[in-house]
Amino acid sequence: MNSRKRNIKDKSTVARELLDYGWDFLILKYYKEGKLSLSSLASKLGISVSETIDLLSDLGIEAPIGYDDYLKGFEAFQK
């Protein structure tokens, strides 16, 4: 078998990967629309919140909250 054939994945593997990518896309979309919290997104992706923040930054997705909401959250965090 040549090296080119060894790099080709079987159809079921590719199908599973596409389903995983589709799921990730859908939950990222829900987050961007404000339908999921950051912690829920991290949980559904199976990664930590800090890794999720890095991923969102890499993808150019901003948090769907306004500045006032941010300040309220920051004030609650300080208490």
Domains of the chain, residue spans: 3-78
Residue whose token pair is 């912690």: 39
Mean pLDDT along residues 25-52:
91
Work out the pLDDT band at 4, boundaries 50, 70, 90: low
pTM value?
A: 0.65
What DSSP assignment string belongs to the chain? --HHHHTPPPHHHHHHHHHHHHHHHHHHHHHHTTSS-HHHHHHHHTS-HHHHHHHHHHHTPPPS--HHHHHHHHHHHH-
Q: What is the mean pLDDT of the chain?
A: 83
Q: Which pLDDT belongs to residue 66?
A: 66
